[in-house]
Amino acid sequence: MEAQAAGHRLDRFVAQALPDLSRSFVQHLIAAGQVLVNAQAVRPSHALRHGDLVSVTVPPAQPVALVPEAIPLHVVYEDADVVVVEKPAGMVVHPAPGHPNGTLVNALLARYPDMQVGGDLRPGIVHRLDAGTSGLLVVARHDQALRHLTALQHARQMRKIYLAVAEGRFKQAEGLIDAPVGRHPHDRLRMAVTPTGREARTHYRVCEELGNYTLLELRLETGRTHQIRVHLQHLGRPILGDPLYGVRKGRPTFGLERQFLHAHCLGFQLLDGSWREFTSPLPADLQAVLVKLRAMRTA
């Protein structure tokens, strides 16, 4: 990947670009020569310059036993089939290189010890949120529920609405971003709008104009990796604070340490046929940014 964070430490840049990897794991990769700058091994504290080419080699994940961990969970809804949780920003959904524990899956197994679903390291996980994204997730408690939720998702019968603040303003109050998303042609660590990508459709609605920023409501019709983040960057309206698709040197983040993206609403059909819909308010760090933006607008 081409470094776009001139002046940043190498370990910090890589940890932000690959949010599934902890900073300590990134430092271990650097020490092992798995992270190169312009094909050269450097120290974790190496300051990047504009145009530097950073390459990262992540070794294959070793088999990890799932360990229940008594991590606090905010459960919005539960029954014998499914659990709806509110994931905080910073929490990884399932074990991955650099995150063998401390994940949402570890916390769920401690609370629901019988939830060995699917036979892998992602028991019951139907969809995921990036580590830096907060909000609502539904998890299956048994295989039948997993099949049910997976079928709903494939049929596009789950309602997923996000709130985001994007840089810039929108000419239209609402619209549809219909652009295929796939692996970036030159950077395997990122996604991009590309002709060879998979169909991706995001509906947006302007909720509030905040000077040179816009509060948006976004509804996913498809669920590609990083879809909202990629689609808004494609429009030239990246998400405020996005470390991978938005942040550039000199752009303000208003103290935000992650992307302003929150899974606000989640609706789906339960196994008994009833429709349920859940909402999650903006967490405190995102609310604080809105307060600052509104104050700037009225100043």
Rg of the Cα trace of the chain? Answer: 20
Rounded (5°) CA angle 157-111-105: 60
Contact between 177 and 162 under an 8 Å Cβ cutoff? The reply is no
Give the largest Cα separation in the chain, rounded: 58
Catalytic annotation, pick one of 11, 20, 52, 130: 130
- Residue 35 β-bridge partners: 56
Distance CA 271, CA 249 (A): 48
Catalytic site includes residue 130:
yes
Helix (H) or strand (E) holding 213: strand 213-220
First to last CA, the chain: 40
Distance CA 11, CA 13 (A): 6
Q: Mind telling me the catalytic residues?
A: 130
